[in-house]
Structure 1
Amino acid sequence: MFRHGKRSIGLLAAVACAALVAAGCSSQGGAQSQAGGTAQGQRYTIAMVTHEQPGDSFWDKIRAGAQQAATDLNVDLKYSNNNAAGDQATLVQNAIDSKVAGIAVTLAYADQVGPAAQKAVAAGIPTVAFNSGINEYQKYKIPMYFGSDEDLAGQSAGTKMTQAGGGKALCVVQEQGSVALEARCAGVKKTFPATENLQVNGADLPSVQQTIGAKLQQDPSITYVVTLGAPIALAALQSKTDSGSQAKVVTFDLNADVAKDIQNGSIQFSIDQQPYVQGYMAVQSLWLNLTNGNDLGGGKPVLTGPSFVDNTNITKIAEYAAKNTR
């Protein structure tokens, strides 16, 4: 399953470049001659519909990548988001009704949002899934997926923690019902069996900090706090300080502050799914499909992670994190 996906970034770049060369490129970007789209003066409108939770800086990278692709390819990007599954499904339906040229959608709540995305496919609108729903997108006839294998990412984190000494882990889930986050913790538990999940409300960081701190005070045997988002990692660091815990903090995802904490040793490592790439490729793949009939991945997921960020590579990556592209 993973063999096709792991060729992702290099092959995608080559495919994209080949398509752009075939279309003819200007120094300003965008096709100038043959492959449809801007070649005929047409500016495609692409809708991106996500389950973004307000205040989560992770989505800034998704949007930055998507907008860069839209700028490069002369695409009109319509971004919308709602963390409530039913409301996100409504946003997908709105995109269908507005007759956009393509739709990129996250499937964190696949049971509710997937059927709406399948309606887009049935209506002949090119549709890709990204970020969430790696095990569900094919069920809804969506041909392309860009993202990390969350189970594999969790297993990789658990293995790294076991190699560093083991113990007991607390896996902090900040969005109840998110299949991607639950898959991460389930993956951690496969290779680090002494893992307990802790549900928190990621939209309320003071509450997150208090809940983690209370758990660390209650159970001093916890050796690792695994967070599933960069803002939650920063809250966990404060919880650790307030509780006097010796637990180490590891996290999924990255931002500039987490990069600094990896540099100074406060956070052990990050498991990065490269959200900037996810946003960029979701838009670019739709553009390639619209202008050149391309489908990427051969029906398999195109993987953008997991990619470890730790003390061995943080010096180089920190500069990109500061630019909001990593």
Structure 2
Amino acid sequence: MRRVARLIAAVAVLAFSLHAAADARFVVVTHAPDADPFWNVVKSGIRDAEKDFGVSADYRNPPNGDLADMTRLLEQAGARNYDGVATTIADLDVVARPVKAIVVRGVPVITFNSGTAKQSESLGALMHIGQPEYEAGKEAGQRAKAAGVKSFLCVNNNVTNPESFERCRGFAEAIGADFKKATLDSGNDPIEVENKVFATLHERPGTQAVLALGPTSAVPALRAVQKLGLTGKIYFATFDLTPEVDQAIQAGTVAFAIDQQPYLQGYIPIALLAIMKRDNNRDVGKACATLAADPKFKGHLETYGLTPHFGPAGVDTGPGFVTRDNVRTVEKYAGQYR
């Protein structure tokens, strides 16, 4: 009789937990403008996590990337009784007040993509998921240095995000260059990016390399390089992947792309928030262990060739490097899952 009672109780607890997870509503707030294709891959991760864990997640972003608009979106998120919030740290000073207000309300917050584990902790968030930007830039610079690069142009299309400069700084310090002199505020408009890169390289004929901070700047920068007759003559690298970047890598025009696995940046925050809601436990270590063992998650990793690194302060999703040697492995998923 006691066994039956225990079994009934266990089933009831399981049913309650599943019901709690199914009812969970989360929100993802980012700094990303609508025009940036990088975030389509993040959204794929969010959608798959919703489906795998039976939860819903709203996606909110400022259409033009305006950080004041992002602040308002965070304030709205705090007032709408979500079960959890995932947000980027586009600028610590800008997002600190609304994020801390959400934390004070008792809502679990996970930061991802932009920002650092230290910044995340200062906000009261549970953890940070993303790529350490300085280290990514430095590793990219070390590859360039091995190829003989001593000077470069860093094409920054996201200057409103302080962490973006860490990519330029890491690359510069690896090759022994001055990152401030090397950094170009390119803007986001493709024609503007192309014109600025063209003009800068024309004025600095000794520039040996170009580092673009994403496809938004990489694709028009490649056009500028072509117009200058430098295709194949100047060392070119970029952060992040799109089908156009993949084709350029295959052609040898781009040496490599730094891959921060954006799919994981969308999937993991929602999955962890869902697990913690379901289990009524905010132990990050336990939630990460549960996710790492989840069959559906492991299936996605195998299918798309993804590798997260779970650590004590969060999850590193990069840097990885896509070169001519491995680009065909990720080509068919570029723009959607890679």
Same fold (TM over 0.5): yes
Q: Secondary structure at the match of 1:56?
A: coil
Residues 185-224 of structure 1: per-residue CA shift (max 9 Å, x gap): 111112022251111111x110000000111111111111
What is the aligned partner in structure 1 of residue 193 from structure 2?
A: 208
Q: 1:295 aligns with which of 245, 262, 284?
A: 284
d(CA) in 2 for partners of 1:236, 1:39: 50
Q: Is the 8 A contact 1:45 1:77 kept in 2?
A: yes
What is the aligned partner in structure 2 of residue 275 from structure 1?
A: 262
Cα separation, partners in 2 of 1:94 and 1:226, compared to 1, 3 Å: same
d(CA) in 1 for partners of 2:78, 2:209: 44
Shift of 1:231: 2.6
Shift of 1:38: 3.3
Q: Is the 8 A contact 1:33 1:39 kept in 2?
A: no
Unaligned runs of 5+ in 2: 1-9, 286-309
What is the aligned partner in structure 2 of residue 312 from structure 1?
A: 325
Unaligned runs of 5+ in 1: 1-23, 25-31
Q: Is the 8 A contact 1:114 1:137 kept in 2?
A: no
Q: 1:250 aligns with which of 237, 255, 268?
A: 237
Residues 247-287 of structure 1: per-residue CA shift (max 9 Å, x gap): 22100111111111111111110011001111000111111
Is residue 2:160 matched to residue 1:180? no
Q: Percent identity at matched positions? A: 30
Is residue 2:61 matched to residue 1:81? yes
Shift of 1:40: 5.0
What is the aligned partner in structure 1 of residue 92 from structure 2?
A: 110
What is the aligned partner in structure 2 of residue 20 from structure 1?
A: none
d(CA) in 1 for partners of 2:206, 2:331: 32
Q: Which residue identity lines up with residue 176 of structure 2 in the other structure?
A: P
Cα separation, partners in 2 of 1:127 and 1:311, compared to 1, 3 Å: same
- Within 5 Å, which residues of 2 pair with 1:56-75? 56-75=36-55
What is the aligned partner in structure 2 of residue 133 from structure 1?
A: 115
Q: How many pairs were matched up?
A: 294
Shift of 1:37: 4.9
What is the aligned partner in structure 1 of residue 185 from structure 2?
A: 199
Q: 2:247 aligns with which of 238, 260, 271?
A: 260
What is the aligned partner in structure 2 of residue 38 from structure 1?
A: 18
Residues 58-111 of structure 1: per-residue CA shift (max 9 Å, x gap): 011111111111121111111100222222111111111110111000001111
Q: Which residue identity lines up with residue 315 of structure 1 in the other structure?
A: R
Q: Is the 8 A contact 1:37 1:44 kept in 2?
A: no
Q: 1:226 aligns with which of 211, 226, 240?
A: 211
Q: Secondary structure at the match of 1:34?
A: helix
What is the aligned partner in structure 1 of residue 128 from structure 2?
A: 145
| Higher alpha-carbon Rg | 2
Q: Is the 8 A contact 1:127 1:143 kept in 2?
A: yes
Q: 2:35 aligns with which of 44, 55, 61?
A: 55
Which deviates more from structure 2 when the two are superposed, residues 240-249 or residues 115-124? 240-249
d(CA) in 1 for partners of 2:20, 2:173: 52
Q: Is the 8 A contact 2:21 2:278 kept in 1?
A: no
Q: Is the 8 A contact 2:22 2:53 kept in 1?
A: no
TM-score, reference length from structure 1: 0.86
Is residue 2:151 matched to residue 1:168? yes
